[in-house]
Amino acid sequence: MKGKDRGKSGVVVAADHDAGRIKIEGINIYKRHRRRGGRDRTPGGIVEIVAPMNIAKVKLICPNCSTPTRVSYKLIDDKKERICQKCNAVIKDAKR
């Protein structure tokens, strides 16, 4: 939603719910200069790192209408389901 990667999309790699931060593959990438390692002999050079960003700066992309949307919840057959605010379709988790 904001920043240098506005309009890009990616897959969530990690989430820290306590800190309210999220890591998304291919987004918010920073370069870090590393020295060559000592005993383990890791090579030195410039390494690209996925940095965490605030959860408020991202939105879920609905798989049905392919637009960034907010999510509402509804009980369907005694199960709590996520509903797209734009197209009113049920959003299934990637795990299911």
More confident residue, 24 or 39: 24
Q: What's the pLDDT score for residue 5? A: 86
- The string of pLDDT tens digits covering residues 42-96 is 888 999 999 999 998 888 899 898 899 988 999 989 999 999 999 999 998 765 5
Q: What's the pLDDT score for residue 95? A: 59
Token pair in block for residue 38: 């000592």
Token pair in block for residue 11: 């897959």
Other beta carbons within 10 angstroms of residue 69's beta carbon come to 19
- The string of pLDDT tens digits covering residues 1-37 is 777 888 898 999 999 999 999 999 999 999 999 988 8
Q: Work out whether the CA dihedral 28, 6, 54, 72 comes out positive or negative.
A: negative
Strand partners, 32: 47
